């Protein structure tokens, strides 16, 4: 996952985009970038690192103009360590175009070959986002008459992108001299919303990965960009939208509600916070139904994402809820650190147990999910060292058994703790006395209750059902093979080599 922003305003947008990236920092910590448009000139600054580290006063002063896009990167394709793969990306032919992308193209290799052999375009990095940019550039060139663009022509080019690209993509782009373009894949997997703010000079528009960015920046949410739709705001602030695909379906990534999104966001009309509360209720029902023998003295969340679920779980079980772990706010999100060695090193720097909440008690730890399992193992150890009598571990999500190919770093079955293991074996791996998982149908119902009209979700990491219909065993095998190749920090090594007991939490 990544975070994207795009804005067309009546005043300079550099500070607005910077503030928006801070709000979306949870969606990517590896790199950040901003591009603004000042007349016919783009101004860009991007680098590896957190938003506050990438941008200095001198950088902000150079980002001139009333229109811009911004990106925070969490790499799922390409080189996690290359500054060249920080976004947005830029091409100057046939028009000046910059683009930021959240998601993952599943046919990027074929597109890269087609771009080189047929479209005569060169892709300089291993990023699928640069591939997507060049596909858009080629389609714009093919559709433009006499090298001129209008809204209809731009939407026709987006339709061409949809015909060629597969996978998950939410996109913001700027076309020099024309305006801000945003679009979402025909399956609606990755989120994208837009809103407006009224000013004395006229309306301003903001496009973002999550509604929380609109809230914080003072914009009123209009709606989500629907699957297959493109929106265009020209430099004067005129708004255009068009459906660019005949056949679409809405299949939001269910892991957004479990972990990725901020709880104060609303995605596809569903409150993330309320969904997580309902996840706690359904998990409590399962414990009552199947784990009556557990003598639970206290419910403790693993901060931060699991707090709403843990709170409702404790309320439903009539068991005290306590904050048993203190989080160091200056350590990044474990789940999205680029290498396994960094994940393992950070856990005890990140969390510290409050002994009085554990000593002599049977503790139920609640986390949003268990992915790889290493941090789960260390957290259970911390609870025991703090004096817990028994340690039970509940996951507000079902077992993660399948790779995610749509923009979340769950690429190989070998790296997933639940693959090939029973609940009892998982409990043994992480050192818990029992492990309790949410049922998938209960998770889906907890999300759907917020908007019953949505009938399907991308829950491929739980059930192996890939919404786009193009994921073959051979494709997954190739991903796993490339994942197994060594990288700078060992992140490409197999799970057996790296002690694959890993849970990811906020």
Residues with catalytic function? 2
Identify which of 86, 114, 116, 113 has the alpha carbon closest to the alpha carbon of residue 98. 86
SS3 (DSSP) at 242: strand
DSSP 133-182: HHHHHHHHHHH-BTTB--HHHHHHHHHHHHHH--EEEEEEEEETTTEEEE
C-alpha distances out from residue 105 to 22, 195, 333, Å: 26, 27, 24
Q: How many CB atoms lie within 10 A of CB 109?
A: 13
Instruction: Say if CB 459 and CB 421 are below 8 A apart.
Output: no
Distance CA 356, CA 348 (A): 18
368 is an annotated ligand-binding site residue? yes
76 is an annotated ligand-binding site residue? no
Distance CA 4, CA 400 (A): 26
DSSP 336-401: T-SSHHHHHHHHHHHEEE-GGGTTT-EEEEEES--SSBHHHHHHHHHHHHTT-SEEEEEESS----
Which residues does 201 contact at the CB level (< 8 Å), separation at least 6? Answer: 10
SS3 (DSSP) at 278: helix
The answer to whether the bond into 94 is cis (omega within 30° of 0) is: yes
224 is an annotated ligand-binding site residue? no
Structure-token match 């269910």, residue found: 254
Instruction: Say if CB 415 and CB 374 are below 8 A apart.
Output: no
Distance CA 269, CA 314 (A): 27
Dmax over CA atoms of the chain, in Å, equals 78
- 115-131 as b/e, with b when 16 or more CB fall inside 10 Å? beeebebebeebbbbbb
Q: Which residues pair with 242 in a beta bridge?
A: 230
Distance CA 431, CA 384 (A): 9
Residues at the annotated binding site? Answer: 305, 367-368
Binding site members for Mg(2+): 305, 367-368
């Amino acid at each position: 996952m990544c975070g994207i922003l795009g804005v067309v305003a009546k005043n300079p947008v550099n500070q607005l985009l910077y503030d928006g990236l801070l709000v979306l920092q949870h969606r990517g910590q590896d790199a950040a970038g901003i591009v603004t448009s000042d007349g016919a000139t783009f101004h860009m600054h991007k680098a590896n690192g957190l938003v506050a580290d990438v941008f200095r006063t001198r950088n902000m002063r150079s980002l001139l103009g009333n229109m811009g896009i911004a990106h925070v990167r969490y790499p799922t394709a390409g080189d996690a360590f290359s500054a060249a793969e920080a976004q947005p990306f830029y091409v100057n032919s046939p028009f000046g175009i910059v683009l930021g992308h959240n998601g993952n193209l599943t046919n990027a290799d074929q597109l890269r070959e087609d771009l080189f052999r047929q479209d005569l375009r060169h892709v300089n990095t291993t990023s699928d986002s640069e591939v997507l940019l060049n596909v858009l550039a080629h389609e714009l060139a093919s559709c433009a008459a006499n090298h001129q663009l209008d809204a209809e022509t731009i939407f026709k080019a987006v339709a061409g992108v949809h015909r060629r690209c597969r996978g998950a993509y939410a996109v913001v782009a700027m076309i020099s001299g024309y305006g801000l373009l945003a679009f979402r894949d025909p399956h609606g997997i990755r989120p994208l919303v837009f809103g407006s703010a009224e000013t004395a000079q006229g309306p301003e528009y903001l496009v973002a990965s999550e509604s929380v960015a609109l809230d914080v920046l003072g914009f009123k949410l209009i709606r989500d960009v629907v699957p297959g739709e493109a929106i265009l705001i020209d430099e004067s602030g005129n708004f255009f939208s068009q459906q660019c695909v005949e056949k679409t379906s809405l299949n939001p990534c269910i892991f957004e509600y479990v972990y990725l999104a901020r709880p104060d966001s609303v995605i596809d009309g569903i409150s993330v916070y309320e969904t997580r509360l309902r996840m706690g209720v359904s998990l409590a029902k399962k414990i009552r139904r199947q784990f009556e023998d557990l003598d639970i003295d206290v419910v403790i969340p693993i901060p931060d994402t699991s707090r709403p679920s843990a709170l409702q779980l404790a309320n439903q079980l009539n068991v005290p809820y306590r904050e048993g772990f203190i989080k160091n706010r200056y350590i990044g999100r474990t789940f999205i650190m680029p290498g396994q060695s960094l994940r393992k090193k950070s856990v005890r720097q990140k969390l510290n147990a409050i002994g009085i909440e554990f000593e002599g008690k049977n503790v139920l730890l609640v986390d949003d999910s268990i992915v790889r399992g290493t941090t789960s193992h260390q957290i259970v150890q911390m609870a025991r060292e703090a004096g817990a009598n028994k340690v039970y571990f509940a996951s507000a999500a079902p077992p993660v058994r399948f790779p995610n190919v749509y923009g979340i770093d769950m690429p190989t079955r070998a790296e997933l703790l639940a693959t090939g293991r029973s609940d009892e074996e998982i409990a043994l791996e992480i050192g818990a006395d029992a492990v309790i998982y949410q049922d998938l149908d209960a998770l889906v119902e907890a999300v759907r209750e917020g908007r019953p009209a949505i009938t399907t979700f991308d829950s491929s990491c739980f059930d192996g059902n890939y919404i786009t219909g193009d994921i073959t065993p051979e494709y997954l095998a190739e991903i796993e093979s490339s994942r197994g190749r060594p990288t700078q920090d060992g992140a490409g090594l197999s799970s057996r080599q790296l002690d694959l007991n890993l849970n990811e939490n906020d």
